[in-house]
Chains A and B, each alone.
Chain A
Amino acid sequence: AQTVTQSQPEMSVQEAETVTLSCTYDTSESDYYLFWYKQPPSRQMILVIRQEAYKQQNATENRFSVNFQKAAKSFSLKISDSQLGDAAMYFCAYLDNYGQNFVFGPGTRLSVLP
């Protein structure tokens, strides 16, 4: 079974600085999808960024970018120019190519310090 690991239960970053959240996963598949979701105090799950495993280019969405290392099964999220509104729980997630098995990591709580 696939597993997703986030080794940093909590992280903090100074406002306007850059922070990287780590995620590793385990799978025997070659095609799959990876996601980062943000959960602010409102508890709503918000998609931050998505990566298809067959794409070598790292996904980018404004201040958010990923470092996808397929061979190492690593999928880290970099947040640049951190803002107070970025404070939230961040979940890394894996989805198999059949769209059936969606597996989440335990989450990393990010604090942004003014």
Chain B
Amino acid sequence: EAQVTQNPRYLITVTGKKLTVTCSQNMNHEYMSWYRQDPGLGLRQIYYSMNVEVTDKGDVPEGYKVSRKEKRNFPLILESPSPNQTSLYFCASSFNVQGATYEQYFGPGTRLTVT
């Protein structure tokens, strides 16, 4: 089954404790992206990756890191989480072939609470 998976689905942590949210897709997609969703703000892009070893900042990258060492994986790293990073996080992927981009497929979301 074609899908985007995220782990964990729920996470409660304390300020300053490093954490990683994993994202994996099995569709051989070139493009992957991370978003955070907050009430009244919709989804805001944190980082995206056009392909392996190619990453770039989205609209709200502060406090986050990513890496793309393999095509299928795109982990989101919070080196020192703070309460304002409490949010619902989505990973997404899509094909990007010769300039043509297709709709994004989303993971199930990760609910993160930082106390």
Chain A residues in the interface with B (C-beta under 8 A): 1, 4, 6, 9, 33, 35, 43-45, 47, 50, 91, 93, 95, 97-107
Contacts and interface: CB of A to CB of B under 8 A. Distances in A.
A47 to B, nearest CB: 5
Interface string B99-115: 11101111011000000
Given A100-B50, A104-B42, A50 B108 contact: no
Contacts of B58: 101
Contacts, number: 56
Contact of A102 (B41, B45, B105): B45
Q: Tell me whether chain B's interface is mostly helix, strand or loop, or mixed.
A: strand
B48 A100 contact: yes
B41 A106 contact: yes
Q: Tell me whether chain A's interface is mostly helix, strand or loop, or mixed.
A: loop
A43 B42 contact: no
A47 B94 CA distance: 12
A43 B50 contact: no
B106 A44 contact: yes
Nearest to B94: A99
B101 to A, nearest CB: 3
Interface of B: 31, 33, 35, 40-45, 48, 50, 56, 58-59, 88, 90, 92, 94, 96, 99-101, 103-106, 108-109
B103 A35 contact: yes
Nearest to B38: A106
27 contacts: A1-B59, A9-B40, A35-B103, A43-B88, A44-B108, A45-B43, A45-B90, A45-B92, A45-B106, A50-B103, A91-B42, A93-B43, A97-B99, A98-B99, A98-B101, A99-B94, A99-B96, A99-B99, A100-B56, A101-B58, A102-B33, A102-B104, A103-B59, A104-B43, A104-B44, A106-B40, A106-B42
A43 B103 contact: no
A84 B94 CA distance: 30
